[in-house]
Amino acid sequence: MTTATVHRRAGRAAPAWAVRVAHLIPLVVLPSGLWRIALVAGLPIGASAYGAPVDPDLGETVYIVSLSLISEGLALLALGLVRPWGEVFASWLPLVGGRPVPPRFAVTAATAGATALTLIWTYAAWGVVVNGNDLAFTPHGFALLLACYSPLILWGPLLLLLAWSYHRRHPHPRRG
């Protein structure tokens, strides 16, 4: 069964607003990843008010770059909620490869992810409101940090909208 066959069988095409939201999610995540890459690259982003540049060791560098790549990869998965390739498990996956993704699984995974992201970034935003700039950033560096990380507050709610749209397009069979 091809991806196109599964897509036709599964339900309606995604509405234009959902496609735009799915493309917006990776763009919402991108600034924070670029900020982290700039940090490990040693660019002057105001990460130290004491004048000394941040100099992470190899392990920290690998962690920070990996966090950026994984975050962006997870954000790109939102496209699977509006594209036919997201309705079939990748063929390289053991046991499920090539099979249709059960709509209930996709909606549950997206909703759980959206809930977790909303809780994480709301808590982080609250921490910034309560603690302010207690991390030794220069004022410009702190403003840059806020500009790069604030969009992440939207990631969870946008993903929840996509999960809702997916659920509406892929009705679950009723149990009798």
Give the pLDDT mean for 100-127.
93
Does position 7 have pLDDT exceeding 50, yes or no? no
Give the pLDDT mean for 116-140.
85
CA distances from residue 101 to 7, 56, 111, 173 in whole angstroms, order as listed:
11, 41, 15, 14
Question: What pLDDT is recorded for position 155?
Answer: 97
Question: What pLDDT is recorded for position 53?
Answer: 67
- Count of positions (residues) in the chain: 176
Ramachandran bin of 132, using left for φ above 0, alpha for ψ from -120 to 50, beta for the remaining angles: left
Q: Which of 85-89, 96-100, 172-176 has the lowest mean pLDDT?
A: 172-176
Q: Where are the domains of the chain?
A: 3-169
CA–CA distance, 90 with 9 (Å, rounded to integer) = 18
Does position 32 have pLDDT exceeding 90, yes or no? yes
Q: What is the pTM of this model?
A: 0.84
CA–CA distance, 162 with 120 (Å, rounded to integer) = 19
Could you tell me which residue, 6 or 148, shows the higher pLDDT?
148
* Banded model confidence at residue 54, pLDDT cuts 50, 70, 90: confident
Do residues 65 and 40 make contact, with C-beta atoms less than 8 angstroms apart?
A: yes
Does position 100 have pLDDT exceeding 60, yes or no? yes
Give the pLDDT mean for 53-82.
93
CA distances from residue 87 to 15, 41, 79, 165 in whole angstroms, order as listed:
16, 38, 11, 14
Question: What pLDDT is recorded for position 139?
Answer: 85
Question: Using one digit for the tens of pLDDT, what is the confidence trace for 68-93?
Answer: 999 999 999 999 999 988 888 888 88
Question: What pLDDT is recorded for position 30?
Answer: 98
Give the pLDDT mean for 139-166.
94
CA–CA distance, 110 with 87 (Å, rounded to integer) = 13
